[in-house]
Structure 1
Amino acid sequence: MDTHVTVNEGSAVLRLAGRFDFKAHREFREAVDSLLQQAGKNAVQVDMKDVSYLDSSALGMLLMLRDKAKATSRDVALVGVSGSVRQVLDIANFSKLFSIN
């Protein structure tokens, strides 16, 4: 999986691409830590437009991001979600935990 962190005055975005699974754990955690250090008070968006697959460990990583962001009073939104990725998030009822677009 590829990760890319972008922080502007108005937004903090974590762009993900490829397979989001257990192999991505270390890279995702490092990207999250970097993002939260740079984000200031900005809400966080996770751009999943280019994610082709995610598994249960990816769901756990998203929950970890949510918990870390919440501890610093930030909201997390999942954006660019479609196809089978959307289906997995819907089955897991993530719409109750995240804003999903």
Structure 2
Amino acid sequence: MLMHNPPHPGEIIKELCLEPLGISVTEAADALGVSRKTLSSILNGRAGISPEMAVRLSIAFDTSAESWLEQQSQYQLWHAEQHRNELKVRRLIVA
């Protein structure tokens, strides 16, 4: 079952991981071993969580990589479903 308008994983990182720790984007990017630009793109919803980033986040925040990928998947699927009626798809049925 799809969540109603799930948040982008970047919002979760910002609000539940970085803000409680009181660390900056630069400090977090350094800890994750990525550029500030890369992390900023995720935090601002311009980029998604890749499998590698999911592993990095799981190590840094003692979470599972799967949980980060599931959040990304839910976010993307919900947004794709919003355009379901616009898709030009023909149903294929075996006779």
- The answer to whether TM tops 0.5 is no
More strand by share: 1
TM-score interval (norm. to shorter): under 0.3
* TM-score scaled by length of structure 2: 0.25
User: Relative contact order (alpha carbons < 8 A, sep ≥ 6): 1 or 2 greater?
Assistant: 2
